[in-house]
Amino acid sequence: MTLTIAIDGPAAAGKGTLSRRIAEEYGFHHLDTGLTYRATAKALLDAGLPLDDEAVAEKMAREVELAGLDRSVLSAHQIGEAASKIAVMPAVRRALVEAQRGFSRKEPGTVLDGRDIGTVVCPDAAVKLYVTASPEVRAKRRYDEIVAGGGSADYHAIFEDVKKRDERDMGRADSPLRPAADAHLLDTSEMSIEAAFQAAKTLIDAALQTKI
């Protein structure tokens, strides 16, 4: 039986780093589902296609190869914005969710992170975490990331973006971002990545004890 760990939360909550650490710890496969939305958006942008044509966006979504996803080529801010726009389209979500569910069945186990994993993609996941942090802390993390990478950034612009993205992700009709009823909440506002990992591991170990 495959064990799936579902990790959801808003932009820049630290899900990515946490999910990779968890996957490594348990020897599970990891899928950052945000990259599937980003890859679809990038394909549309590269082809000069509109971001508001659902049939065209669905076609691009069906062509996304999970094995080739690479955050370093999909990290641009403009791609993230476009991703959250096409993520409101039900046909795009259906196509990507189908691929994500296929991935979630890999043996011996999987970690999927995104916005709707515990609620829609893997409602039967063995463990569900909802990772969050205040918008101020998330904007600061994104700012530090850009500066550490040698770029220049404007904290206030990033803070406004984080809030706008939250509104779009939480307010959409199809699969809005929200914790599943059975998710464990992990607020990382005051936690280092290491502390968040330890807290997540304690929750996961306890949950797995009752499943195996």
Q: Do the beta carbons of residue 175 and residue 116 sit within 8 Å? A: yes
169 lies in the site for ligand CDP, by CB under 6 A: yes
Tell me which residue of 81, 60, 48, 46 sits closest to 164, measured CA to CA: 81
| Residue 11 within binding range of ligand CDP, rule CB under 6 A | yes
- Nearest distance, CB of residue 33 and ligand CDP, angstroms: 4
Separation CA 67–CA 95 (nearest Å): 16
Among 80, 109, 118, 135, binds ligand CDP (CB under 6 A): 80
CA dihedral of 203, 162, 38, 18, whole degrees rounded to 10: -20
Using CB under 6 A as the binding rule, whether residue 83 contacts ligand CDP is answered as yes
Encoded one letter per residue, x for contact with ligand CDP by CB under 6 A and - for no contact, window 22-61 reads -----------xx--xx-----------------------
Q: Which of 1, 17, 9 is nearest to 117 (CA)?
A: 9
Run of H or E including 163: helix 155-171
Residues 116-145 touching ligand CDP, rule: CB under 6 A, are: 116
| 14 binding ligand CDP? (CB under 6 A) | no
Interface residues toward ligand CDP, by CB under 6 A: 11-12, 33-34, 37-38, 80, 83-84, 87, 114-116, 165, 169
